[in-house]
Chain A
Amino acid sequence: MELEQLKKKLDEARYIYDDGLATTLFVALQLGRPLLIEGAAGVGKTEIAKVMAYALDRELVRLQCYEGLDESKALYEWNYQKQLLSIQVNMNSQDKDQLTRSLFSDGYLLERPLLKSIRAEKPVVLLIDEIDKADEEFEAFLLELLSEMQVSIPEIGTIHAKSIPFVVLTSNRARPLSEALRRRCAYLYIQYPDLDKELAILRAKLPHVDDRLAAQVAVAVQKLRASEAILKKPSIAETLDWASALDALGIRELTPDAMRQTAGFVLKNSEDLNAFDQPKEGHDCGGCGQCGAHHHG
C-alpha cells in the first residue's frame, strides 16, 4: 500500500491525522514492524488500531494487558474439562498412546488472542493494549512472537504464523518497557492535539453539535490543558463527552455557568474541580479554563 492510499483509507475511516502520523503508520506497515504507541491516557492510542483495522479491511484482535497476565490468557490454554471428560470416556481404550496424543491436539486447544492472530487465514490487526500493565516476564514472552512471528507450545512444538498480523502495542508509560521490546518496534508518541486538530475531531465525531459550541469547547479544553493548575489534563475522549453533554442539555453557548454545570465531564478529580471553581485573583487568561469561554468563545 502506498502512502497516498493509506491516507485515503484513513480519510474514509473519518480519522483525523497529520502527515507525521500517516508517515509513521506507513513506515510500520511497509517494514512489517509492530508499532509501539505511547502517550498520555485518552489521546487516541487504541483508536489507531481500530482505524488501521478499518483501513486495511482486517479483523481487530484485542489483548487487554493487566498485572499477572500470562500465556494461558494471552496465547492458549488446554481445555481441561474436555480433556478430563475424554479420559473418562476413553478409559477402557486399548491404545493409551493414541489417547495421550489426542488430548494435546487442536480439538482441545483454546485459542487466546495471540494464537488467534497468527493462525488466522487472513491477516488481522492485533492490538496489545496497555502493555505497561503486564509483567516483564510477559514482555519477554512477546519477543518471540514479535520478531519471529512464531510461538512455541511445549506439547505441540513451534507454530509459525499463517498470516502476518499488523501489531499495535500501546503504553501509558506506567513503567518503562524493556529495551529489547522497543528495539523490535516502530515507535510513535502521541501528544494532545492542537486546537485545529481538536476542532476537526469534534466536527468529525459529533457532526450534530453546533459549530460555534464545538469551537468554544475546543478552545476551553486547550486552555485547561495549558493551565498549570490543572493536574489531570483532559483527553480527547473527555472533550467529546463534554461537547456531547452540553449538546444533550441543549446548551448552545459555553457560558461560565454552563461550564460549571458540566465541569465533571472534563475534569476528573476534586483538586482540578476546585482549581476550576476558584480561579486565583489577578490571574492571567492563559491559566484559567473559565476565560476560554467569555474571552475567546
Chain B
Amino acid sequence: MAEPSVYLEKLAVFARMLRREGLTVGPQETADASQILISLGFQDRTQVKTALRTVFAKSREEQNAFDHVFDGFFLSEEAMRRQAQEQMQREAELEAARKQADEDLRIQGEPMHLREDLREVYATMPEEERQRLRDLMARYQGNIDRSPELYGNFIHSVFTRALLEQQMKMEDSGVGCQEADPELGLLYRDISQFKDTEIPRAISLIQGVARQINGELSAKRQQSGHTGQLDFRRTIRRGLETGGSFYRLHYKRKHQRRKKLVLLCDVSGSMMQFSEFALRFIQSLNQASDFSRTFLFSEDLFEADPFSLQNMDLFRTYVKDSGLYGKGTDLGTVLDKLCRLKPAALGPSATLLILSDTKTIDLPRAVNALLDAKRQAGRVLWMNPIPESKWPYVRSIQTVGTLCQMVPCSTLSALAAACRRLVQ
C-alpha cells in the first residue's frame, strides 16, 4: 500500500477521469473526498470505493460509471502486474497479426488499397474469418493471374465488404458495458435482441421510464405560466381562507395547443418487436398527443384499432391477422396511400411519426412519397431502430436522413430520449 499522500494526489486525476465519463465533479466533491479518505484511511479498498462513490456519484447511472472508472484506476498491485503482462502479450500478438495482414492483403504482390482502420480490423478479427478470406483469394488466384484488373477489383470489393461487416460486428460486441446492472443493462441493449423472457422486465422498465417522463412533463406544464388575466372566481374563493383579504392572486392558465399524432409503424419481419415496444412507450405518455391515429404497414397500409394495441399478445395476433406480417417493406406505396386518405390523416397540426429502419423496395419512389407527406404534415419525425453508429453503412438511412429529422431508437434508453423530444 502506497503512502496516503500518493493517493490524495491521484484523487485529482481520478476526478478528471470521472468528468470524462460524464460525471459532474467539482472542486467541492474532490475536497469532500480527500476529507473522508483522511478520516477513513486507505486500508480497506471496498470501504474507500463506497465512500468515494457516495461523494462522487449522484445517481444510479453515475454509480455504474463510477464503478467502472474506479476499478480501472485504483488497481491492486497484483492486478496491475497482471494487467501489464497481459497488455504486453496482447501487443506482441497484435504486432504479429499486423505483419501477417501486410502479407495477406496483397494482390499480385501489390498492397490492396484499403483504409488503415480496415487493415486494423483484419489484424484483430478471428483467425477463421481471416482463413475464409485467404481461401477465397487462393480460389481465385488463377483468375487474377489471367485477368488482374477484373478479378483484382472483385477481390478488393469482397475484402472491403467482409471487413466492413466485421467492423460492425466488433462495434456491436463493444456495447454491453452497462451489463453490470441487469436492469439498467436492458435499457442500453438493442431492443431487437431482447429474449422473450426479458420482455416483461422491459415492459415494467418502460412503465417506469414513461412515469418519469410524465412526471417531468406534468411539472413543466405547471410551470408554463399563466395568461396574465386574473381568475376572479379562484382569487375570491381562496381569499375567504384569509378573512376576505386577497392574499394570493390566481391567474387564468394558458390553453394547451392540441396536438395530433399520426403513427406509421413498420411491422415487417424484424421490425415487429421494435414497433411493439415503441408503440407501447408512446401510448404510455399522457402528453404525447390529444389525438392520435396509428397505421401499421409492410407492403400495404392498415389502420390499427387502438384497443388491439393494449397488450403484446393482442398486438401480435392483430398484426398476423391483418396479413402484414412476414412481408417486405414498400414505403413508397404506403406513404402514397397515407397522403391520399380521405378524410385526410395528415395536416398542418399533425406530427407524422415513422417507426422504421428505412429499408424498403424502390427507394426513389419512397423518397418522393416522403416529400409529399412532409408537405402535408406539420412535422415529420423518424424513429430508427438501427444504432446510429451503423447509419453510415446504410444508404437508405443517409438518403432519408437528409429529408426529415431522424432519431436513433435502438435501445429503450434512446427510445425514451426520442419520446422526450417528441412531446417537447
Chain B, range 188-211, C-beta contacts under 8 Å to A: 197-201, 203-204, 207-208, 211
Pairs A–B under 8 Å by Cβ, sample size 23: A19-B50, A23-B40, A23-B47, A23-B50, A23-B51, A30-B35, A31-B55, A67-B218, A80-B242, A80-B247, A84-B243, A135-B222, A174-B211, A174-B215, A175-B219, A179-B24, A179-B58, A183-B26, A187-B54, A187-B62, A189-B63, A231-B200, A231-B203
Interface centre among A24, A27, A67 (most CB of B within 10 A): A27
Residues in B whose Cβ lies below 8 Å from that of A224: none
- Does A136 have its Cβ within 8 Å of any Cβ on chain B? yes
- In the complex, what's the smallest C-beta–C-beta distance from A211 to chain B, in angstroms? 30
Q: A80-B242, A187-B58, A228-B201 given. 17 additional CB < 8 A pairs?
A: A30-B35, A30-B36, A31-B35, A31-B36, A31-B55, A80-B241, A81-B243, A84-B243, A132-B215, A173-B208, A173-B212, A175-B212, A175-B215, A175-B216, A182-B59, A189-B60, A228-B199
Q: Which residue of A lies closest to B201 (CB)?
A: A228
A231, B212: Cα distance in complex, Å? 17
Interface centre among A30, A80, A186, A231 (most CB of B within 10 A): A186
Q: Are A228 and B200 in contact (CB under 8 A)?
A: yes
Residues in B whose Cβ lies below 8 Å from that of A228: 197-201
Residues in B whose Cβ lies below 8 Å from that of A132: 215
- Does A33 have its Cβ within 8 Å of any Cβ on chain B? yes
Instruction: Give residues in A with beta carbon < 8 Å to B.
Output: 3, 19-20, 23-24, 26-28, 30-31, 33, 36, 38, 67, 80-81, 84, 132, 135-137, 173-176, 179, 182-183, 185-189, 228-229, 231, 287
Q: Are A38 and B59 in contact (CB under 8 A)?
A: yes
- Does B39 have its Cβ within 8 Å of any Cβ on chain A? yes
A84, B200: Cα distance in complex, Å? 59
- In the complex, what's the smallest C-beta–C-beta distance from A109 to chain B, in angstroms? 16
- Neighbour of A188 across the interface among B39, B54, B219, B242, CB < 8 A: B54
A176, B200: Cα distance in complex, Å? 23
Chain B: number of interface residues, binned into ranges: 35 or more
Q: Are B32 and A31 in contact (CB under 8 A)?
A: yes
- In the complex, what's the smallest C-beta–C-beta distance from B117 to chain A, in angstroms? 37
Interface centre among B32, B58, B242, B247 (most CB of A within 10 A): B58
- In the complex, what's the smallest C-beta–C-beta distance from A206 to chain B, in angstroms? 29
Number of A-B contacts (CB under 8 A): 92
Q: Are A183 and B54 in contact (CB under 8 A)?
A: no
A19, B241: Cα distance in complex, Å? 51
- Name B's interface SS: helix
Q: Report if A137-B223 is in contact (Cβ < 8 Å); known contacts: A20-B50, A81-B243, A174-B215.
A: yes
A80, B200: Cα distance in complex, Å? 53
Residues in B whose Cβ lies below 8 Å from that of A174: 211-212, 215
- In the complex, what's the smallest C-beta–C-beta distance from A286 to chain B, in angstroms? 10
Q: Which residue of B lies closest to A147 (CB)?
A: B28
A137, B221: Cα distance in complex, Å? 12
A67, B54: Cα distance in complex, Å? 28
Q: Are A182 and B58 in contact (CB under 8 A)?
A: yes
Q: Report if A19-B58 is in contact (Cβ < 8 Å); known contacts: A27-B36, A183-B26.
A: no
- Does B57 have its Cβ within 8 Å of any Cβ on chain A? yes
Residues in B whose Cβ lies below 8 Å from that of A27: 36, 50-51, 54-55
Residues in A whose Cβ lies below 8 Å from that of B54: 23-24, 27-28, 186-188
A20, B219: Cα distance in complex, Å? 34
